Amino acid sequence: MDPAVQPDPERSAAQWAGMVGTLERLGARVDVLAQRPDAPDMVYAMNLGLGLVRPDGSRHVVMSHMRHAERRMEGLTAQPWFAASGATTSYVGRDGVGAHLEAGDAFAYRGDLVVGYGPRTEELALKHLATDLGVRVRGLRITHPGMYHLDLAFCPLDERRAMVCPAALDDASAAALLDLVPEPLVLTEEEALSTFCANSVVVGRTVLMPACPPRVRAQLEAWGFAVVLADVSEFHKGGGSIRCLTNPVDVALGRDLAVVPGGEVLLPD
């Protein structure tokens, strides 16, 4: 993320279109939100908001409250777009008063909402999420300066497996995450940072990845996953990869997540 190393616009556009085409070929539906001319980081759509599907089938999006002011205008375009698509929207905290939340830190996994906090998302946001959504939130403290969002260090694959980079977290949080995943594929710091391999998306039993170290590929294939690569290297210059460039809006609240009256926050000791 060196300002002196800028992405090539034509190459970036071609890589983005290639990623979208690959997602569609894998069976994913892709909707595209128009880009604001004053928001170059808006292409990292993951951080626009946390999309959820309620038990009754209705859709809801908790809008991100970006830590850095340079990105906050993105929500002015994203919120009406989410609403026009049929989703209700809210902000972290009652009446929009809360703490910084960036959706790249949040995952539904094994009945809980797993949320990283520290560099971008504030710890206070976890309490607001638990209370406002009525869910159990497991908080993980991110301490690595190069993995500022949890989606650079954690990639759920199914209900038993996930890619995990413990080096992104403090010791207690790393232990808590490894305890949560029955069969973790543990990534080294070098694997996570040099390949962005945790910043991937799963479509069925296919993992769409920016790159895949041989050891990681061997384990994924042994588990029955297919690995498909998409070159998004121009976007790595801005600090994000495939998951950062996408935003799943079909996470089922109440089916994949445990609904807890009043909400509950669990933090590692």
pLDDT score of 265 more than 70: yes
Distances (CA, A) of 233 to 71, 222, 265: 21, 27, 36
pLDDT exceeds cutoff 80 at 255: no
Query: Is residue 25 in a domain?
Result: yes
Phi then psi for residue 3, to 5 deg, are -55, -20
pLDDT of amino acid 257: 73
For residue 205, what is the domain's CATH number?
Answer: 3.75.10.10
Query: Residue 206: helix, strand or coil by DSSP?
Result: strand
Note whether residue 136 is domain-resident.
Answer: yes
Kindly indicate the confidence band of residue 3, based on its pLDDT and cuts at 50, 70 and 90: confident
- Distance separating alpha carbons of residues 96 and 65, to the nearest angstrom: 9
In a domain, 99, yes or no: yes
Kindly state the average pLDDT of the residues 29-53.
94
pLDDT band, very low/low/confident/very high, at 149 (cuts 50, 70, 90): very high
| Residue 135 amino acid letter | V
Q: What is the pLDDT of residue 250?
A: 86
pLDDT of residue 79: 96
For residue 72, being part of any structural domain is answered with yes
Percentage of the chain modeled with pLDDT above 70: 97
The answer to whether position 4 is within a domain reads no
Overall domain count for the chain? 1
| 48: number of Cβ within 10 Å | 26
Helices (H), the chain: 9-25, 74-84, 123-133, 171-180, 189-195, 214-222, 233-236
Q: Which domain holds residue 34?
A: 9-266
Q: pLDDT (tens digit, 9 = 90+) per residue, 177-208? A: 999 999 999 999 999 999 999 999 999 999 99
Residue 100 has pLDDT above 70, yes or no: yes
| Model confidence pLDDT, tens digit, residues 68-82 | 889 999 999 999 999
Residue 185 lies in a domain: yes
Confidence of residue 155 (pLDDT cuts 50, 70, 90): very high
> Residue 96 has what pLDDT?
66
In a domain, 247, yes or no: yes
The one-character DSSP state at 111 is B
Phi, psi for residue 112 in degrees, rounded to 5: -130, 165
- Residue 3 inside a domain? The answer is no
Q: Is the pLDDT of residue 217 over 90?
A: yes
Residue 152's φ and ψ, nearest 5 degrees, are -90, -10
